[in-house]
Amino acid sequence: MNNSPIKIGIIITSLKSPEATTLKYLVLYQNTLQSSIEFQFLPVPEDAEVLIKLNSSKLLNRKEINRDINNYTIEYKDWLDDKANSYGLIQEAIDGIIIVSMAKFSDGYYMTRVNNWAVFALGHWEPYMAPPSVLEFILTLIIQFSTYIACKGSKSVHHNATKGCIFDFTYQLDEARYKSLTGFVCYKCANMIKMACSANLFNDIKTLLNKGWLGNITEPSIISTTAKKLGYDLFHTKGITPTTLERLKQIFEVEGVKNLLLIISSVIIATLILLLGLKKFP
């Protein structure tokens, strides 16, 4: 029996630091929590046309992107092999590749699949769709696609109804949040995973989907605390990047009431000085 993990390569476009840095940390940390899936980030050539398109803010035709990806897969594999060879390395085989982008598809889809590639196009994400944070949502999509690859692209995957299951189809992006919030895998999908792959994979993805490893707003884990230090607060940031208000909340939470009292007392003292000064010199 082959117990080697499936290998999922991830390419990030559009996202910048600190979001990209935090996403990489959270994805790679998941390698330590289970043994069925090995996540890895891959280099990309700067001049790849399809990646440049996905990096733009224009509305994109999903079917055209599917064709572009289909045409690009061999070219990218060759480029990756050459890149590794140029440093005396050997590129190991990758089972599935995910491009994480903030592109917008004109038909409203937020994900598209071509063979063993997936493109996440999350440009339609709006802050009101949180919770979950967009990074947690991306983590869920990565697990969803990895499971699909591990189950060798089972045709029975995805269902019409919204159950809060990772294989909900969901017509609207704001409906898709439930699959990330619940971490549920429905009876049908659980059976499909166990039959097409293994009970071990099922247990492993449940561990990841549960997100207990991230903690919560009142009891953050060391992982979410590190994510905050990297610049992305999973429990306050609703959009792609934190707003000014979200940054302030983060500061007050980190520094506590001490700083808040210091600011209030400074304002009171400054006001008193001003008033006394005005009385002294009418």
* Cβ at position 159, least distance to Zn ion in Å: 5
CB nearer to Zn ion: pick between 39 and 167 = 167
* Cβ closest to Zn ion, residue 105 vs residue 167: 167
**198: number of CA atoms within 13 Å, CB side?**
13
Place of tokens 């071990």: 200
Q: Which is nearer to Zn ion, 44 or 186 (CB)?
A: 186
Q: Which is nearer to Zn ion, 104 or 163 (CB)?
A: 163
Beta carbon of residue 245, minimum distance to Zn ion (angstroms, whole number) = 37
Are the C-beta atoms of 220 and 228 separated by less than 8 Å?
yes
Binding region for Zn ion (CB under 5 A): 165, 167, 186, 189
The least CB distance from residue 191 to Zn ion, in Å, is: 10
* Closer Cβ to Zn ion, 117 or 167, answer by number: 167
Nearer to Zn ion, 82 or 169 (CB): 169
Q: How far apart are CA 230 and CA 187, in angstroms?
A: 37
- Helix/strand/coil (H, E, C) string of the chain? CCCCCEEEEEEECCCCCCHHHHHHHHHHHHHHCCCCEEEEECCCCCCCHHHHHHCCCCEECHHHHHHHHHHHHHHHHHHHHHHHHHCCCCCCCCCEEEEEECCEECCCCCEEEECCEEEEECCCCCHHHCCCCHHHHHHHHHHHHHHHHHCCCCCCCCECCCCCECCECCCCHHHCHHHHHHCECCHHHHHHHHHHCCHHHHHHHHHHHHCHHHECCCCECHHHHHHHHHCCCCCCCCCCCCCHHHHHHHHHHHHCHHHHHHHHHHHHHHHHHHHHHHHHCC
**Minimal distance in Å, beta carbon 166 to Zn ion?**
7
98 or 189: whose CB is closer to Zn ion?
Answer: 189
Tokens of 110: 């937020």
Instruction: Give me the least distance between CB of 109 and Zn ion, in Å please.
Output: 19
Give the shortest CB-185-to-Zn ion separation in angstroms: 6
Output the smallest distance, CB 193 to Zn ion, in A: 10
CB of 116 to Zn ion, least distance (A): 21
Residue closer to Zn ion (CB basis): 172 or 259: 172
Q: Could you count the other beta carbons within 10 Å of the beta carbon of residue 162?
A: 15
